[in-house]
Structure 1
Amino acid sequence: MSRSTRTSRIARASRGPVTLALGLTAVLAVSVGPSVAAPHASTASTAPVSRTAAAAPAVVNPGNQVDYQYDHASLPMTATGGTSPYTWSAANLPTGASINASTGLISGVLRGAGIRTVTVTARDAAGATASATFTWRVIRDACPRC
């Protein structure tokens, strides 16, 4: 067998599986749809996909709080994700405490004893909101000025 005959047989034999694979890809593309077919130059997307959307904000839960009545509270709230700056608000704070809307710092002299379920909410610049809920126990000291 000459060298050219062996080469042409190898070339013909190797074309079979390649032709079969290309034909199978074409059949799959037609029967399943173009999303399964391998992309090539003529099927390039028309618009780039943007993946830079900011993640939704999340308020970091500070955990349950316990303080004595007439103590000065200072609890900084933090948030992650979203688009800063955040606007802060709080519901059901202990008497005497308030939240700074721009910094998220809860502060004040705690005047009322009891247990409160506090909800702190952060709104990011894009308008998305997130909140955290925790309990705040203010204990009446038996001798506040001893």
Structure 2
Amino acid sequence: MAVLAVGLAAVLAAPVGSSAVAAAQPAVTTVAAAPVVAFPGNQVNYQYDSVRLQMSANGGATPYSWSAASLPTGLTINASTGLISGLLRGSGTRTVTVTAKDAAGATGSTTFTWRVIRDACPRC
């Protein structure tokens, strides 16, 4: 009787077909790197300057969606292209953070300062 029980246990424990082999292998998940946003350098402009600053990134899954926090007054960022543009209003120094979100939802960002100098005679 003991031989029968051991033999039955061996049959039940043996893998059957390729599905048993596949189930024994761990799942492999590939994670793409997040985008890396290039540092554009700290910016200095005069009040009422017209601005065009193209942001860039690499890595991650394109296309990117762009956003910016604390842009100087009068500037906006194009969410599709990453172009910061506009006519500067006001003065002072801002710490700007630009973020690129890739197609997979991963984000990367860079931070820089933007100083806007008040011109003593902007329309002279």
TM-score, normalized by length of structure 2?
0.75
**Greater relative contact order structure (CA < 8 Å, 6+ sep):** 2
2: distance between equivalents of 1:58 and 1:72? 27
CA RMSD, aligned part only?
1.7
How far residue 86 of structure 1 moved from its aligned partner, in angstroms, is 0.3
Rounded to whole Å, the distance in 1 between the matches of 2:51 and 2:101 is 23
Match of 2:95 among 97, 103, 117: 117
Report the CA distance between 1:54 and its aligned residue. 2.8
Q: List runs of 5+ in structure 1 lacking aligned partners.
A: 1-44
Alignment of 1:46-125 (within 5 A): 53-125=31-103
**Gap regions ≥5 residues in structure 2:** 1-23
Change (3 A) 1:50 1:91: closer
In the aligned structure 2, how far is the partner of 1:50 from the partner of 1:125? Answer: 17
Count of equivalent residues: 101
Which structure shows the bigger proportion of residues in strand conformation?
A: 2
Q: State how far apart, in whole Å, the 2-side matches of 1:117 and 1:110 are.
A: 15
SS in 2 for 1:111: coil
Q: Identity percentage over the alignment?
A: 71
For the pair shown, the structure with the greater C-alpha radius of gyration is: 1
TM-score (norm 1): 0.64
Deviations 1:13-48 (A, max 9, x none): xxxxxxxxxxxxxxxxxxxxxxxxxxxxxxxx9589
